[in-house]
């Protein structure tokens, strides 16, 4: 009997220990994952001006017709395809020489990109020494389209040491059924403390807000972002945030991209069309949602500058492989002004991703 | 969790009243050993295969529920015993192509990307089982070679990188795989036994070279019914690296007909 009890007890304990869920859920706040490059390149011992850059690198898929964000049929890329994308991204980073880099859609363990740890690869093939990563989608298996295992998220790369990083969970969508919601992305705001010479309270922040919601999730993400960044300001800290908000700047001329984004078998805006708009392509009801970021912080591309020449500041397209930039989704914000006129929207990088990098310079206040 | 607790509680209460002989008839619920089912006996589980005692020295089994999308058949053939050691060989054939093509699809339920073609795949498995009873324990040693044949190129990106599944499909990518293992079945009473086993999968010539699986099942059985509950622990090397997986609880209900 004792043996039975022992075995049954052991079994019950193992049951209680349970299995890992298919999908990783996150706490409202938890540590970000820190990385270090294999090499060690001495960072500058003083910093007067920082060049910062944000870039949604589309997991190195360049302009391939991936099923999830374009009207393509590609799902699992070959290793050669991914390496071509990563090498292009690394070359562009070398060319633009940012000191701090904010990246979105970085795969670290995904079947779709050959399980290449892109975070480590980019550190090892550029001059950055340190990185911080926060996953927005981590699942042992996504049983859709053969997607399989995935771990993708946003990241901060720095010449200087990242001493701490935290992952802030952003609101989940409320417009999905339970099963879809379980397997869907869990967006985040990543905040990393960076040891820049002469600054003892400097933070880099990276956000990739919701893209396809039809409810007010994007608005909640902006509100959460403002709240977290305000805490840094209130604590006499300095920050620069880079990210893809999936929102247009207020005052954008064009706000409905359903026709541009629609696939050949889709039709929108018709009397009998259901849905009337393509998910994630109609920004009209959301056009003021990013205003609190402009109201509270400084944007590398001030609204007036954007509105005076919108085409010049477009950072995104959904049309592959030949479409050109047609909207602005990527931003740099800080709580101290960027150097006026230092911003650049690198539209020449169009073969490398469906977003282009945006850079700006920021004077280190002593 | 309540169901598990209730089940284990019932098991404990029930077993407390038992004082029967602990010897069991090896020809009942004998799938994981060199013993064969009695001629004419049929056993079928929710997850375990349908097994049929065809003759005194031949038994057939198939995963019946999956048969129409994954035709499969295994024969177990008993050989001359040597002293207290019993020998049997297993010979199996499986054709997983219809199932893999079924789950290679767009949208929800797509386990394999539809951008790849799945050729005709034939799996041939040959193994040996050696069993011996030691008082209340039945110990079985096993070894097998799995050969995967295909009529065309099978893209490596079609692997299903999940425990249990990945090592079983790996011979179709590597050409062959080897399996070794042992089972120990301890008979507590005539109606309660515990089965614990370990299996190693190795794939010569593959970068993802191994898998190790262990399970423990507590089973209550009569001549006609068998309930089992337990866990499975898996450690293996996948395209993304090495990983542990605990799969718990696992359960099964089996029913027998015939002798």
Task: Summarize pLDDT for A210-225 with one digit per residue, the tens.
Answer: 999 999 999 999 999 9
- Position A211 scores a pLDDT of 96
- Position A243 scores a pLDDT of 98
Which of B111, B233, B238 has the most A C-beta neighbours within 10 Å, making it the best mutation to test the interface with A?
B111
- Position A19 scores a pLDDT of 55
Which of A1, A3, A4, A72 has the most B C-beta neighbours within 10 Å, making it the best mutation to test the interface with B?
A4
Tokens of A345: 């929207």
Task: From chain A, pick out residues whose CB is under 8 angstroms from the CB of B157.
Answer: 76, 78, 111
Task: Summarize pLDDT for A276-298 with one digit per residue, the tens.
Answer: 999 999 999 999 999 999 999 99
- In whole angstroms, how far apart are CA B190 and each of A161, B125, B137, B218? 66, 33, 12, 13
Task: Summarize pLDDT for A231-271 with one digit per residue, the tens.
Answer: 999 999 999 999 999 999 999 999 999 999 998 888 999 98
Q: Which residue among B16, B161, B231 sits closest to A148, beta carbon to beta carbon?
A: B161
- Position A264 scores a pLDDT of 85
Tell whether B246 is within 8 A of chain A (Cβ): yes
Q: Nearest CA to CA, how far is B232 from chain A (Å)?
A: 10
Rounded to two decimals, what is the model's pTM? 0.88
Domain range annotation of chain B:
2-257
Its CATH architecture, for the domain B2-257, is Beta Barrel (2.40)
- Position A69 scores a pLDDT of 82
Q: Grade residue A68 by pLDDT with cuts at 50, 70 and 90.
A: confident
Distance CA A297, CA A239 (A): 10
DSSP of B176-236: EEEEEEEEEEEESSSSEEEEEEEEEEE-TT-SS-EEEEEEEEEEEE-SSEEEEEEEEEEEE
ipTM beyond cut 0.85: yes
- In whole angstroms, how far apart are CA A272 and each of A63, A266, A276? 33, 12, 8
Cβ contact, residue pair B107, A73, below 8 Å: no
Does residue B213 or residue A14 have the better pLDDT?
A: B213
Distance CA A343, CA A249 (A): 16
How high is the mean pLDDT in each 10-residue block of chain B (259 residues)? Answer: 42 36 57 90 92 95 93 96 95 97 92 97 98 93 98 96 95 96 93 95 85 96 94 95 94 90
Q: Nearest CA to CA, how far is A66 from chain B (Å)?
A: 11
Residue A172, number of CB atoms within 10 A of its CB:
16
pLDDT > 60? residue A15: no
């Amino acid at each position: 009997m004792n043996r039975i009890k022992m075995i049954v007890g052991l079994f019950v304990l193992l049951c209680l220990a349970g299995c890992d869920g298919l999908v990783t859920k996150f706490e409202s706040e938890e540590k970000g994952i820190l990385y270090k490059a294999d090499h060690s390149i001495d960072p500058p011992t003083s910093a007067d001006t920082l060049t910062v850059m944000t870039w949604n690198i589309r997991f190195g898929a360049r302009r391939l017709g991936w099923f999830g964000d374009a009207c393509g049929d590609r799902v699992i890329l070959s290793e050669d395809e991914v390496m071509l994308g990563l090498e292009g991204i690394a070359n562009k980073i070398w060319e633009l020489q940012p000191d701090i880099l904010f990246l979105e859609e970085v795969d670290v363990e995904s079947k779709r990109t050959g399980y290449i740890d892109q975070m480590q690869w980019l550190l090892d093939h550029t001059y950055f020494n340190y990185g911080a990563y926060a996953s927005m989608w981590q699942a042992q298996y996504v049983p859709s389209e053969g997607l399989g295992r995935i771990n993708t998220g946003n990241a901060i790369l720095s010449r200087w040491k990242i001493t701490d990083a935290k992952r802030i969970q952003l609101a989940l969508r409320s417009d999905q059924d339970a099963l879809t919601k379980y397997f869907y992305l869990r967006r985040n705001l990543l905040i990393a403390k960076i040891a820049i010479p002469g600054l003892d309270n400097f933070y880099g922040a990276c956000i990739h807000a919701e893209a396809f919601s039809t409810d007010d999730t994007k608005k909640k993400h902006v509100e959460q972002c403002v709240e977290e960044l305000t805490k840094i300001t209130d604590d006499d800290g300095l920050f620069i945030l880079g990210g893809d908000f999936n929102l247009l700047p207020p005052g954008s001329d064009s706000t409905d991209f359903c026709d541009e984004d629609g696939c050949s078998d889709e039709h929108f805006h018709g009397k009998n069309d259901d849905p009337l708009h393509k998910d994630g392509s109609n920004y009209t009801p959301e056009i003021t949602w990013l205003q609190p970021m402009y109201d509270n912080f400084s944007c590398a591309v001030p609204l007036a500058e954007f509105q005076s020449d919108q085409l010049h500041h477009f950072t995104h397209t959904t049309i592959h492989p030949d479409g050109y930039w047609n909207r602005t989704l990527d931003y740099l914000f800080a709580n101290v002004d960027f150097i006026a006129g230092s911003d650049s929207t690198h539209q020449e990088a169009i073969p490398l991703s469906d977003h282009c990098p945006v850079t700006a310079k920021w004077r280190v206040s002593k | 969790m309540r169901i598990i607790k209730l089940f284990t509680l019932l098991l404990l209460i029930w077993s407390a009243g038992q004082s029967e002989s602990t010897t069991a008839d090896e020809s009942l619920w004998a799938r994981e050993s060199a013993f064969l089912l009695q001629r004419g006996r049929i056993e079928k589980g929710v997850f375990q295969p349908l097994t049929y005692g065809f003759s005194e020295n031949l038994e057939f089994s198939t995963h019946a529920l999956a048969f129409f999308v994954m035709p499969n058949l295994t024969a177990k053939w008993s050989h001359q015993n040597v002293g207290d050691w019993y020998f049997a060989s297993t010979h199996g054939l499986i054709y997983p192509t219809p199932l893999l093509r079924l789950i290679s699809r767009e949208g929800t339920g797509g386990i394999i990307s539809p951008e790849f073609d799945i050729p005709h795949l034939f799996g041939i498995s040959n193994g040996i089982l050696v069993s011996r009873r030691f008082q209340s324990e039945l110990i079985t040693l096993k070894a097998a070679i799995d050969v995967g044949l295909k009529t065309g190129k099978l893209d490596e990106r079609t692997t299903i990188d999940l425990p249990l599944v990945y090592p079983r499909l790996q011979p179709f990518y590597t050409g062959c795989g080897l399996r070794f293992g042992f089972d120990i079945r301890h008979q507590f009473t005539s109606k309660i036994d515990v089965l614990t086993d370990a299996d190693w999968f190795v794939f010569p010539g593959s970068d993802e070279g191994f898998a190790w699986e262990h399970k423990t099942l507590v089973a209550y059985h009569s001549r006609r019914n068998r309930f089992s509950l337990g866990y499975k622990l898996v450690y293996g090397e996948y395209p993304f690296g090495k990983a542990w997986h605990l799969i718990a609880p696992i359960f099964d209900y089996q029913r027998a007909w015939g002798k």
